[in-house]
Structures are given as structure tokens and as C-alpha cells.
Amino acid sequence: MIRAAERAAELSEKHVRVLPTRSQQAGLSVAVALEPGRDAEANAAAMEDELAQVRTGAVARAARDDVGGRFRAGEAVGYVEEELVAWGEPDSTLRDVLSRLGDGAELVTCIAGDGAPLDGAGVAALAPDGVELEHSVGGQPNWWWLLAAE
């Protein structure tokens, strides 16, 4: 995807910079640094600074059984960045991911997907003490929760 974006930037008649984010939630987090009045280079620098401060996570329903026997299809699997860190019931998996992401963070943004088994209040109850949780509904089909910590 990054290469495709870089190629599109090369073909554009406008001055375009591609930020190499690896997740939807990282891209959304850095978008807040965009200021329409700045030029592309200044915006890219501000967004790169923001990207350096963001850690991401996600929780989804497992599509199949783990060959190592850690989880079964339908159970929750949780990631921090691209590393599988938790699995099992949705609430305990989300709590583990939130705990890891919340360590040293002031804010965790949670975007709930289609069919997420906990509502905003349920998610907020799992957030670590001292971390502000911002919850919204994104409706994404494959992830119960997309998370970004700043």
C-alpha cells in the first residue's frame, strides 16, 4: 500500500508527501496534525512528529484456530503494533491490549467496529487508570476495535 501511494504521489501534478503509516488508526491519529494553511513539507514534518508518538493496537475475532493451540476461531485476538499479545475472551483481550498501549500514554482512541461485543461504557471500564479514553464507532467489518495511544 505504501508503494502504491508513493507511486500515485509521483504521478500527481501536486506536491505530495506520503507518510508510511502501517494502520488505519495511525493514519487517523496523524491527520489531526494537518493544517491547511501550511505547505506540504511543513505538514509532513508535523505529521511525522505525531506519527513518532503514536502506538497502535487492535482486537479482532480470530478467523481460524491457531496452529500453536493458543486460540480457536471466533475467540478474540489482540495486537500491539503488529505483534500478537493477547487472546481469549473479548473483554480480557481488550483489557490486555489497552493496558499495554496505555502504559505511558495520556490518550487512547478506540474505534469500535461492526459487531464489537462491548459498547463504549464497557470499553471505558477496561481502560487503565489515568488514561483518557476516546471512543467512537467506525463500523469497520474485520476489527472489533482499532486503538491508537498517544
Do 59 and 120 lie in a common domain? yes
pLDDT in tens, 78-125: 999 999 999 999 999 999 999 999 999 999 999 999 999 999 999 999
Do 30 and 68 lie in a common domain? no
**Which residue range is the domain that position 34 belongs to?**
2-52
Q: What is the 3-state secondary structure (H, E, C) of the chain?
A: CHHHHHHHHHHCCCCCCCCCCCCHHHHHHHHCCCCCCCCHHHHHHHHHHHHHHCEEEEEEECCCCCCCCCCCCCCEEEEECCEEEEEECHHHHHHHHHHHHHCCCCEEEEEECCCCCCCHHHHHHHCCCCCEEEEEECCCCCCCEEEEEC
The model's pTM: 0.87
Do 110 and 127 lie in a common domain? yes
Do 118 and 73 lie in a common domain? yes
Do 63 and 88 lie in a common domain? yes
Do 62 and 107 lie in a common domain? yes
